[in-house]
Amino acid sequence: MPRQEPGRRSDCPVAYALDVVGDRWTLLIVRDLLFNAERRFGDLLDSEEGIATNILADRLSKLEARGIVTAQRDPENRRSKRYRITEVGRALAPVIIEMMIWSAEHDPQTAATKAWLRRAKKDKDALRVEMFGE
Amino acid sequence: MPRQEPGRRSDCPVAYALDVVGDRWTLLIVRDLLFNAERRFGDLLDSEEGIATNILADRLSKLEARGIVTAQRDPENRRSKRYRITEVGRALAPVIIEMMIWSAEHDPQTAATKAWLRRAKKDKDALRVEMFGE
């Protein structure tokens, strides 16, 4: 029997995804890296939701360890890094799109437009490529 | 400008979904209530992942407040309740299915079979109805 990873709760695929991205912040970082080919730490910090420096650093290092994000030294500033989404991270796009659809339908204050929702429900794959690229 | 709900971080639909279901446990409770028409507190407590009593009570009361779950007094035991998913909660099924697909592809220990994954990628709507009903 394979050894249980520390913190692993079961082999259920819902539990696994939640072990990796199941918190209030991680998928917002993934969102920013899907919408932007490359982000510096400060760009991610500037997102509307106001993530704290220590939480952002913690979540980025976990995402890097899981192979969802890569970090490269910034050629213009040796003390800074540039973050990009990997293919494993890009595969989370459908999870994010389904969350957006659910919120667009159930949040009275949603920023998602009715036109976006119609488009999303009509062809999710085309919308994903349009929003986040291949 | 509408008043910001307490704890609301932005009008981004990803942030809204994460405000509601963005933690390690909430979507596991939703999963159990999608797979089973009705659950008692003790049934949910018995799930493989070993949720703690206080966390389960907290998440169920938040899910009830958000209209994702309904609780009814158990006719056989006045001190107990029976929980059911609502239509709003049922609309989270596609989020859960996309998480399952991601895990089935990226977790080496996943309980999801290759046959399930093929089926899921072929027709998600049919799979959703088959797994969770209409």
pLDDT digits (tens, 9 = 90+) for A2-43: 455 777 899 999 999 999 999 999 999 999 999 999 999 999
Q: Does B86 touch chain A (CB under 8 A)?
A: no
State ipTM: 0.94
Gap from A42 CA to chain B (nearest CA, Å): 18
pLDDT of residue A3: 52
pTM equals 0.94
A104 sits in which H/E element: helix A93-106
Record: contact A24-B23, CB cut-off 8 A? yes
Render chain B in DSSP notation, one character per residue: -PPPPTT---S-HHHHHHHHH-STTHHHHHHHHHHSS-EEHHHHHTSTT---HHHHHHHHHHHHHTTSEEEEEETTEEEEEEEEE-HHHHTTHHHHHHHHHHHHHH-TT-SS-HHHHHHHHH-HHHHHHHHH--
For B49-107, what is each residue's pLDDT tens digit? 999 999 999 999 999 999 999 999 988 888 889 999 999 999 999 999 999 999 999 99
Q: Which residue of B has its CA nearest to A48?
A: B10
- Note whether B46 contacts A: Cβ–Cβ < 8 A: no
